[in-house]
Chain A
Amino acid sequence: MSEQNVQQVYNLPRIGDPAPSFEVNTTHGPIKLEDYKGQWLVLFSHPADFTPVCTTEFVGFQEIYPQLRELDTELLGLSIDSTQSHIAWVRNIEQNFNTDIEFPVIADLSKEVAMKYGMIHPNDGGTEASRAVFVIDPDQVIKAIIYYPLTTGRNMDEIVRLVKALQTTVNHSVSTPANWKPGDKVLVPPPASQQQAEERMKEEGIEVIDWYLAKKELKED
């Protein structure tokens, strides 16, 4: 096989996989993935510092950071830039937008983390990281993945909604319907047998639309 045809194949992490470990330099000093054990983590990548869409996103991520922290969720950014570049950009954002970026940003110059998480999509961004979001649970298992192209800024409200929905699922063993938001009814697991289906149709206290689709109010703990 010629050198030109040799391609390195990476196993990209999928939902349900253990989050690939890392030890990295960040704007807050050296950090290991395991430093977040016991908490939820939103790990996101952006293409490059000092670029327009990314700058609007960073302001947006900082705006949702207090909400995420209330959900015991930390935020960690990443791009293939140096710590010095990140520091300069974060200071620039503070000057231009009066926004103090409080979460750390990984300086992944070696692309080690970006490769492990499949953040580089060569046909969209060349060697830059795409707009990836990984939601990682307290046991450091990947619970959700979002990818956006370089041209399109992410929806911050959706990221908060996603974390809330995932935590609701974990804490209450339920699913959440389309456009669910806290306070809305949740979905109960569908019957696993014909007898269960029969009884589900007569069940009181839940909204049965059909035997396989039923909603209920979530009682607050």
Chain B
Amino acid sequence: MACIKSELTLAPSEVKLFLNTVNDSKVNLDDIKNQINKPLFKIKSALRELTETNYMTETDGYYVISDKGKTYLAENK
């Protein structure tokens, strides 16, 4: 077990990729799948991680960036 743990397992480039995909409008899994060239399991896992850590929210299958996600994008251009 590592002595210190990151909040996310996603790499910064992946966080930005997913947050940018949901930044403009609310999108569902199919929309995201069509925009991101990654295996489906990876997309599902990343969306779960980003919602569990409050970078985005999910309601009825639609994903929306949160204030925390917007701040992350602003600070990591």
Contact = CB atoms under 8 A, between A and B. Distances in A.
- Assign chain B's interface to a size class: 10 to 19
Contacts, number: 33
Interface of A: 25, 28-32, 35-36, 38-39, 69, 74, 82, 84, 104
Contacts of B2: 84
Nearest first, the 7 A-B pairs at minimum CB distance are A29-B9, A35-B41, A35-B44, A31-B45, A36-B41, A35-B45, A29-B45
B41 A30 contact: no
Interface of B: 1-2, 9-10, 39-42, 44-46, 48-49
B40 A38 contact: yes
Contacts of A29: 9-10, 45-46, 49
Majority DSSP secondary structure for residues of B touching A: helix
A28 B49 CA distance: 12
Contacts of A28: 9, 42, 45
Nearest to B14: A29
A30 B48 contact: yes
Contact of A30 (B39, B40, B49): B49
